Structure 1
């Protein structure tokens, strides 16, 4: 498994990079486009609201571009992309997906090979967040989250989280099934593998038998943490920061087994009906202002250079030099190949 090294993830972070909107004559088709509509596939909840607040209303609405959000979990949105593959015009222009799911949709042949000349702000993007078929919007790492009042001693990693002794204080988020499999595999192998599905199943069945709880969404899970129904789980560090800001009693621990990275990004559908506006959306999301706003509002690290993030906030959402060495990129090919099997087992066995 390749690691995202500090020199890669943070390449160019010290360089100043202006991200102001260029005049249409200097940009590509994305900035020359004015008016019309763009349909954005995205999760609901906080992320959808912040897309509207930080990107759509301030940057696209003034250009006369009407943004329509198609809110749903990533699984049904991916299914729809594949189902619409043979149509000359699909129903969604741009899809918000994890890096693993962006890879999967590219393998399915339903994503546009990006023309980066149409995304002027892409010149500022971190090299590790630039894909032929998509762009990383924000990123974080998967960490153990716990309530110090309920969980003692302090956990050190995924193995401590997935210890049956915590019983019904162990929590899971339904939509995070892929990351749960990865964490369980790492717990079972001491960090040696993120792909040992069978050992992961053994770990998960043990905590299910102990009374672990499953919540349908991030928001439902957060409420359970707040009410102290549960006390330990794993989630992206950005979410821990969000919930701490909301007064939810929780702390984060970077797992000793390694820190799987999470990248949330966007792809353009190959048969997008409003392709120029999809490019405009991608360009807008890479502007300096919304990138900084997502760090403040959602606790995620930005994917472009030259951001002005307060040092105290950067300390909370980022990672130390030692932790950065433990950041692990995911095996997207493996996840694409095994996603259906993992989801089927999760739904029919683990949730049953």
Structure 2
């Protein structure tokens, strides 16, 4: 999810359904819903390669092909969440679907922004892994924060988050501001702490900054470039991102941290004030299409939330975690994150991002 200015807004022209396969599609139940939801579906999403894959595997083949116009409101999640909060008292808002991670989704639900979803109107929700299901959220992809390192330069990589607090990594560690909340939870987790031990985590991050001066990047793409050029040799990021960069040719390897990786799930919801809720349901159902999710997983290396996605055994083994690793995943305390994330971001920007 690379940084795109929140003012960027891309409207695509409406595509009218043609003959043949598209006409057949429009004759079915999903097509009838799309016709009922005619017009635009306004989608709030990250930009960069994340949005490009969303367009390629979901929006163009499964939403626009049905005659809906996708209007994209792209930007980072703090700005996009702030927009929804500002609109929650309006009779009608401006967003139909918003892409979020699981913690932000919980926060927006508690802030009375996201609507509870009628799963009967999302037939593909039946395929979602039960542990990931939520009333207000369509889970889409998941991964975890791991240690990514240059295998040509580092023969004995850190095996835990805590081992990064070592002078030998001075100037070699790359972080991205996008994952500030993950780093704060990670720092609280080490030394036997927990995911709600962020106060101790702050002190450890300050110590990390003083000890090794990690390089901070605005977004994933900039961090990827830093690894590719040798500006940094280690990164803390999602396993899926490490696999993407390996696939691009950077000589990287992945170490699962001894503390257990911090898990993240990405998905979407629909605001209570959505101007076109019918179109939102068409979009949310398309996100969980079995074929689309398999193609998206192959392109992004994120594990799909749709348990029926047609992944090859080899791909599933590559992108997912082993049974032991899954048992050790650390899922956020969503209520705790929701209460604190705004203050965490302010602290990070003042203390770490300078």
TM score, norm. by length of structure 1: 0.89
Q: Matched residue of 1:328: which SS?
A: coil
Distance 2:165 2:32 in 1: 50
Structure 2 stretches lacking a partner, 5+ long? 1-23
Query: How far did 1:249 drift?
Result: 2.0
Structure 1 partner of 2:203: 202
Structure 1 partner of 2:194: 193
Structure 2 partner of 1:17: none
Structure 2 partner of 1:7: none
Distance 1:24 1:102 in 2: 34
Question: Is the contact between residue 34 and residue 67 of structure 2 (CA under 8 Å) also seen in structure 1?
Answer: no
Is structure 2 residue 347 aligned with structure 1 residue 345?
Answer: yes
Structure 2 partner of 1:262: 264
Which structure ranks higher in relative contact order (CA pairs < 8 Å, sequence separation ≥ 6)?
Answer: 1
Distance 1:143 1:158 in 2: 8
Is structure 2 residue 166 aligned with structure 1 residue 163?
Answer: yes
Aligned residues: 330
Distance 1:152 1:179 in 2: 26
Distance 1:271 1:241 in 2: 38
Structure 2 partner of 1:123: 126
Question: Is the contact between residue 139 and residue 265 of structure 2 (CA under 8 Å) also seen in structure 1?
Answer: yes
Distance 1:256 1:69 in 2: 40
Structure 2 partner of 1:88: 91
Distance 2:30 2:72 in 1: 26
Structure 1 partner of 2:75: 72
Structure 1 stretches lacking a partner, 5+ long? 1-20
Question: Is the contact between residue 30 and residue 283 of structure 1 (CA under 8 Å) also seen in structure 2?
Answer: no
Structure 1 partner of 2:323: 321
Query: How far did 1:28 drift?
Result: 10
Distance 2:102 2:337 in 1: 10
Question: Is the contact between residue 25 and residue 31 of structure 2 (CA under 8 Å) also seen in structure 1?
Answer: no
Q: Matched residue of 2:100: which SS?
A: strand
Distance 2:33 2:230 in 1: 47
Question: Is the contact between residue 149 and residue 252 of structure 2 (CA under 8 Å) also seen in structure 1?
Answer: yes
1:1-352 pair list within 5 angstroms? 26=29, 30-31=33-34, 33-187=36-190, 189-190=191-192, 192-209=193-210, 210-352=212-354
Cα RMSD after superposing both structures: 1.8
Question: Is the contact between residue 139 and residue 261 of structure 1 (CA under 8 Å) also seen in structure 2?
Answer: yes
